[in-house]
Structure formats: C-alpha cells, structure tokens
Structure 1
Amino acid sequence: MNNSPLQHPQDGAPQLRLDGLRIALFSGNYNYVRDGANQALNRLVDYLLRQGAQVRVYSPKVARPAFEPTGTLIGLPALAVPGRGEYRVPLALSPQVRRDLKAFAPDVVHVSSPDPASHRAVSWARRRRIPVLASVHTRFETYLRYYNMAWLEPAMVAVLRRFYRRCDALVAPSESMAQVLREQRMNYDIGIWSRGVDREIFTPERRSMEWRRSLGIGDDEVVLGIFSRLVMEKGLDVFSDAIDELKRKGSRFRVLVVGEGPAREWLENRLPDAVFAGFLSGPDLGKGVASMDVLFFPSVTETFGNVTLEAMACGLPVVASAATGSQSLVDDHVSGRLITPGAVHQFAEALRAYVENADLRAAHGKAGETRAQEFGWDKINQAVADTYVRLVRQRQKRGQKRAG
C-alpha cells in the first residue's frame, strides 16, 4: 500500500497518522436532500481533508442538490424510491465507478447506508483485503412500523446483520444505539461516533421575541416546538395526538413547527392552529429553535438525535421518546423527560408540567445547555479517523503474518 498512514519510528512501535490516508466513502444521500446524517458525513469529510487525508465520496447525484458537497463527489447509478421520489437508492457500482475506485486505491472503505451499492462496495473491498468501516445513522428496521409492515422487522434485521457482519467494524452515534446493535448481533467491533453541535448557531442568545411576534405568537405564550424533516417516521402521529390531549386538559400553549417534507400537509390538517415556519437553516434555524420554549420530539427512528442536542444547546427542556439517541442525551427529570414510545397520555402530562411551570422549564433547559457543551465536532470526528487508522494497521499486521 503506497503512502501508508502508518509510520514506524526507530523503536518499531507504529504511530497513528491521518496525513495521506485515502478513504472511499459511500453514502445513499450525501447532499441531494438535507438531513442529519449527511450533515455529519460532510462535517467528517471536511475534518479529514483538513487533517491531510484524501477522500472520495460515492453517492447519487441530482440536478439540484440541497447543498454543495464537501470534497469530491462521484455519482452512483440510482433509482427513485417509489412514493418518496426525493430519495434515491444507489443500485450498483458502474464500470466507471469501479475504474475510479481502482485508480484512487483507497486504504479504507466507509459505508454509511445498507443499500445495494454499499453491499457491492463491501464485496469489492473484501476481495482486495481493504478494511471496511460502517457507520450507522438510522434504525431502518423501525421505518416498517409506519407503513403497516412491522411484521417484516425480523427479516429486515437479518438482512442488516448480514451486511454489517461483513464489515470490519461499526461506529454508532450513541451508546444506546451501540447496545442495540450488540443485542442484534450486528458486529463485535462497535465504537462510538457521536455528533457535535455548532454553538455559534445553536445558543440561547439567538432567541428572538420579535421573530415570534412576526409569526403571531404572543410574548406570554409557551411554545411547544418540533424541528425536523416532516415525515411520518419522526412520530408525527404521536406528536399530534399528544397535542390534542394537552388541549383537552385545558393547557394554554402554541405549537411551532420548523421544517418541510411530504407529511407537512398531513400535519397541517391534524393541527390547524399550529404555526408552520417552513424550512430554516444556519443562523435562522438557530433563531427558530431558541425561540421555542420546549422541544417535543417523539421519534423512535433516531440513532443519535441531532435535533435533541441542538435544542439542548439552545437551552430548551426536551420531551422525547425513551429510545436510542435521546436516551444518551437527555437526563430524565434533569434536562427533560424520556417517555415510553407511543405513550400519548404520558407525553401530554410531561408537556403540561413544562407549560405550567416556568421555573421547571428554565432549570431543565439550563441543565441541557450545560450537557451540550461536551459535544465538539473536531474531537468527535477524530474518533472516526482513529478507527480508520486502527483498521488499516490491523489489516497490515494480518498481511505481515501471512507473508511470514
């Protein structure tokens, strides 16, 4: 392997280095639709490039992506998802992609979604004895519940297990998600690649009463908010049911929804009194989040919960499902509430406590902000870089033993 990232000092002890390492990254959605997973991947690539690594990204391309990609992006042949045409499924490694991969000669392959192209990428790497790291961003098996196909979950888990066990290691965004992967026997080498938060964007200082007033929200109104891509997999049914129950209890509050997606019309019909601010990004998103009073996020499909962390950084108490992701961030009864998934009555009771008690909101919001200070992006991304180099070193050692 040329330009090996492993340097051997005089004493023979290998020293980990990232400079010169070549990484081939496969993504099902690197930049054509904005989401938390591809934001993390783009930040990772930016960090790797700044450290002197070489990165080549392989993902479907579209004419009008949501944002410009970080690094060099090579298109994969893909098919639009039926009923969700904004998403693409990468189908294979075309001859052009295979030639590009061969010329790039990666030291490590990183796959970030269990799609057909990533399956082929894993096979390509294994034949060449190139180590493979898989990052887990979404609990794909839980999506079936929102399409009345929960009975297929065991089969989906089996398919995912076959994919992940062919990889040399996995990284999960939270310890709670890593434990799920261990229990599902996905792999025996599972590390943590957490998520960071941009404290220049997500901070209590961005709270704007003027912005709230522009939406028709009074200064004395308690705002229960959600910000996310608006798809049913985010628990929008539970969200709306709990809001309805809270109204029946006589609590006075406003609902603020930040985001766009195919389920927006459904949610507007379910909650006609809610305020819909649409898609926001950058400082505008930070202002929108900080101008809420409580985050209500009942999703069970998250592996980390970027939304949860960003709300905490803005000083909001969080009411979330006791599921992977949020469980590793929210300290129950300290910085928010963790509620049994789907327990509408319990969600409503937790929300009512915050609506009616300003001191409780302030105390739990402050605790969440303190916790969010622990999540810096560069330190978090270095954990992935260390894993790359460890896998390369392990593979080189095995090669030396075979040669000996």
Structure 2
Amino acid sequence: MKVALVCPYDWSKPGGVKAHVANLAEFLLERHEVRIFAPTSGRLPREGINRYVQHVGRPVPIRYNSSVAPVGLGPRVVYRMRRGLQEYGPHITHIHEPLAPWVSMAATVGGPMPKIGTFHAWSDSDRIYRATAPFIRKIVQDLKVRVAVSPSAQRFAAEAMGVPTSSFTILPNGVDDHRFAGAEPLEALVDPDRPLLLFVGRLEKRKGLETLIKAFLRLRASGHHLRLCVVGEGPERERCQHMVPPSLRTEVLFVGAVSHAELPRYHASSDVFVSPAIGGESFGIVLLEGMAAGLPVVASDIPGYRTVMSDGVQGRMVPPGDSIALADALDALLANAKLRSAMAAEGERTAKEYSWSVIGSRVEEIYREVHRGFVAEQLAAAGEAGEADVPAGRSTS
C-alpha cells in the first residue's frame, strides 16, 4: 500500500510524536511505500528516514500543555498539505494528532480518504477542546478509525470532544527494543564504583528535572557516590544547572540533545533510568526505552506512566514532584543489586510486548481492514450509481 504519515511537529527537532512516526515508517517500509508529511525548521540530511519526508512549511512554536509545540501555521501550509497528499495519492492517510494546527488539521479536513487518526496527547486541562467540541466533532467525523496511544489519551480526547471512549481503539506506542538492547556503552561514562542515573527528555518544567536534581543532591549528601547524566535541551537547562553546587558540577553531566543513533549508548552506560515528570504525559515511551536497555526505572506515578509499568515490578513509582520520595526509591534500588536486576528483567519482558514487530503488525492490520472496507464502500456506491443510470426494463447483468 501507499501510506501517508502526517506529523504536525517540527521534523528537525526531537519529540515523542516524531519518534513514533519515524519508527512506524521504518517498520512499514519493509513492505509498503511510505511518505511522511511534516513541517521542518531546517534542511534535512537526505539519509535514513529523512529521505521519505516531504516538507510542508516552517514550524512556529506555540505554548500547549505546559510545553512548546513547534507546528506549521498559515494558509500556505494548508495548501501544501492538500496538494502534497493529492499528488501522492495514498491508499491510507494516517494522521497523528488530527486536531493539531495546521498540518494535521488540514489533512484531517481535506486529505484523501480513507483516513485514520492517532491521538497522542493527555493533559489535566482540556478547556480549549471543550470550548470547541462541536467544531472538533465535525472535523474528525471522516476518520475511519480513531486511535489513542493509551487509556489516558483515550479518556482525554473522548471527554474533551464529548464522544464515547468506545469510539477509540487503544494502540500503544512502540519501542525499538533491539536498538536499545544491543547498544555499546560509552567508555567515558562507565564507572563501576559510581552508579550513573540517566534522565532523557526536553528540559521543561513538566519533565520534573528539578525534582530529580533535588533528590540527587539529597543522596550525595547522605554519602552516595553516584552521578547524573541529563540528555536533552530546553528552557530549564540553565536554571537546573545552577541548582548544582560547583563542587558537584563534574558529577552532573548536561550533554544536550543527542542523535537517534547515540541515545541507546547513554542507556547502556547507565545504572538506573529516572523520569520524574509531573504531568502532561500520555504514554511512557521513555520508560520503555529504559526497560529495553535493561535498566530498572524510577518514575512518577502519573496516568500515562501507569500504562507501561507498575510500582515494584519494573521499578519504583513515586508521587510527582516529591524529591524525598524519589531519593528514597533510588536509595532502595542502589542498595540492592539483586532487586535492580530483577526489576530490569521484568522491564525487558515488558518492552518486548511493545516491540515494533508487535505494534507495527497491529497498525498494518488496521490499515488492511480500513482499506478493504473503503474499497467495498466505493464498489457499493458505484453499483448503486450504475443501477440508477439503467433505463427501466434493461437488465443490469
């Protein structure tokens, strides 16, 4: 099949939805023709998955869900989206975040049928959705399947739009478990005498890095000779760096954004993966990546994270924003190598359940069902039109 994947966010920058679309495209390309439609802020190297990306406009940062979303805005973006999809002529148009302006919304409203929409977002505030619910319901009525990546994303979208949760199919994000399981450590980071905590994410308030640094400082003060590696960029970087006293700044490594290929090597060099987000997460893809790398996980007890882990199984879950509880959970894991090993093994088993070989196959099956149903509808419509055109008394055989 020819599949169009629509991503509303800047393809030049790292992000959860972009990573999902890229991994899905890599899976589909083994058997199908794929084109990705997305805004880009810079010139993309024509290699890897980028070879299949069609630029549809420049992104503009807008604030949403306690974060900054770089989306394509303006009438020219709408025109490019519609023209690009029409010229490509896909059998399936798969739109991620169907209501995100304007790239995804243009595809949702004017893209070729049949269309599938995947809803990724979760928020503790849906005022914008509720205020525009009647308009939104009209926009999404042409979607043959509405997919939500988690129960929290399902409830958020359904309640915000005023539609039943049963109108959504839950299909989680996938994880490239083989890429994380087989990575080589970075020699400069490995130190058996000083455990390494790993944080990966955009450095913004909702990701909870401040809570982690407070917990780290508490553990250091209690005598733990551990280190912290922070992977990611964002507006909180400078403030969080200043939280670390000069005497410990060599022990807290802010490495900035790292490449898709290099990221698993940071996991392979670490001892515990920590994700202390305080909210706004619909799914725990970063947790699954940590699990796939064979790391025990310590994470906030929030709805999106409860989708993929349970307290005491793959790791520990603590109240969001509670640095003391976070430090205590880390202390318990660091003091018990057998517990870390057992939790890591459970995490690896969990990650396999979300492998792209599993999730991608389910996506393909949805595509096949939707395509078969759409072809049947077209044939039925053509048959009815043909009968209507037959003069009275003439056989239709």
The normalised TM-score by structure 1 is 0.77
Q: Deviations over 1:29-64 (max 9, x none)?
A: 362112232122122223323213x33322113333
SS in 2 for 1:98: helix
Deviates more, 1:248-257 or 1:299-308: 248-257
Deviates more, 1:270-279 or 1:302-311: 270-279
Structure 2 residue 352 is the aligned partner of structure 1 residue 379 = no
Q: Distance in 2 between matches of 1:319 and 1:48?
A: 33
The aligned counterpart of 2:101 is 115
Judge conservation of contact 2:119–2:157 (CA < 8 Å) in 1.
no
Amino acid at match of 2:211: V
Q: Distance in 2 between matches of 1:355 and 1:94?
A: 52
Judge conservation of contact 2:150–2:170 (CA < 8 Å) in 1.
no
Structure 2 residue 261 is the aligned partner of structure 1 residue 264 = no
Judge conservation of contact 1:293–1:316 (CA < 8 Å) in 2.
yes
What's the offset of the Cα at 1:247?
4.7
Equivalent positions of 1:206-285 (< 5 A) are 206-207=184-185, 210-212=187-189, 218-247=191-220, 251-272=224-245, 273=248, 274-282=252-260, 284-285=262-263
Judge conservation of contact 1:201–1:282 (CA < 8 Å) in 2.
no
Judge conservation of contact 1:25–1:110 (CA < 8 Å) in 2.
yes
Counterpart of 2:144 (choices 156, 168, 177) is 168
**Distance change (3 Å), C-alpha of 1:277 and 1:160:** farther
**Distance change (3 Å), C-alpha of 1:385 and 1:70:** farther
SS in 1 for 2:18: helix
Q: Deviations over 1:206-257 (max 9, x none)?
A: 345x4225xxxx5312222212232333222333343344456555432221
**Distance change (3 Å), C-alpha of 1:82 and 1:176:** closer
Judge conservation of contact 1:59–1:73 (CA < 8 Å) in 2.
yes
SS in 2 for 1:168: strand
Count of equivalent residues: 364
Q: Deviations over 1:302-324 (max 9, x none)?
A: 33322211211222111112224
RMSD: 3.2
Structure 2: runs of 5+ lacking an equivalent = 385-397
Counterpart of 2:16 (choices 22, 25, 36) is 36
What's the offset of the Cα at 1:71?
4.8
Judge conservation of contact 1:79–1:91 (CA < 8 Å) in 2.
no
The aligned counterpart of 1:102 is 86
Amino acid at match of 2:356: W
Amino acid at match of 2:242: N
**Distance change (3 Å), C-alpha of 1:360 and 1:352:** same
**Distance change (3 Å), C-alpha of 1:57 and 1:270:** same
Counterpart of 2:349 (choices 363, 370, 391) is 370
Judge conservation of contact 1:173–1:325 (CA < 8 Å) in 2.
no
Judge conservation of contact 2:200–2:231 (CA < 8 Å) in 1.
yes
SS in 2 for 1:373: helix
Equivalent positions of 1:58-137 (< 5 A) are 58-65=37-44, 68=47, 69-81=49-61, 87-92=70-75, 93-113=77-97, 114-125=100-111, 130-137=113-120
The aligned counterpart of 1:146 is none
Judge conservation of contact 1:136–1:303 (CA < 8 Å) in 2.
no
SS in 2 for 1:171: strand
Q: Distance in 1 between matches of 2:254 and 2:23?
A: 29
Q: Distance in 1 between matches of 2:326 and 2:272?
A: 12
Q: Distance in 1 between matches of 2:374 and 2:193?
A: 61
**Distance change (3 Å), C-alpha of 1:45 and 1:91:** farther
Judge conservation of contact 2:8–2:71 (CA < 8 Å) in 1.
yes
**Distance change (3 Å), C-alpha of 1:102 and 1:282:** closer
Q: Distance in 1 between matches of 2:363 and 2:51?
A: 17
Amino acid at match of 1:117: V
Equivalent positions of 1:50-61 (< 5 A) are 50-52=30-32, 54-61=33-40
Q: Deviations over 1:322-370 (max 9, x none)?
A: 2244212223212101223333332222122112223322221222123
Q: Distance in 2 between matches of 1:181 and 1:80?
A: 24
SS in 2 for 1:206: coil
**Distance change (3 Å), C-alpha of 1:378 and 1:181:** same
The normalised TM-score by structure 2 is 0.78
Q: Distance in 1 between matches of 2:116 and 2:357?
A: 19
The aligned counterpart of 2:27 is 47
SS in 2 for 1:280: coil
Judge conservation of contact 2:81–2:107 (CA < 8 Å) in 1.
no
Q: Distance in 1 between matches of 2:23 and 2:355?
A: 12
What's the offset of the Cα at 1:396?
3.8
What's the offset of the Cα at 1:108?
2.7
Judge conservation of contact 1:227–1:289 (CA < 8 Å) in 2.
no
Identity of aligned residues (%): 27
What's the offset of the Cα at 1:94?
4.5
Judge conservation of contact 1:177–1:324 (CA < 8 Å) in 2.
no
Judge conservation of contact 1:91–1:117 (CA < 8 Å) in 2.
no
What's the offset of the Cα at 1:191?
3.1
Counterpart of 2:276 (choices 259, 276, 298) is 298
Judge conservation of contact 2:114–2:374 (CA < 8 Å) in 1.
yes
SS in 2 for 1:39: helix
Q: Distance in 1 between matches of 2:81 and 2:17?
A: 23
Structure 2 residue 291 is the aligned partner of structure 1 residue 312 = yes
**Distance change (3 Å), C-alpha of 1:367 and 1:57:** closer
Amino acid at match of 2:82: R
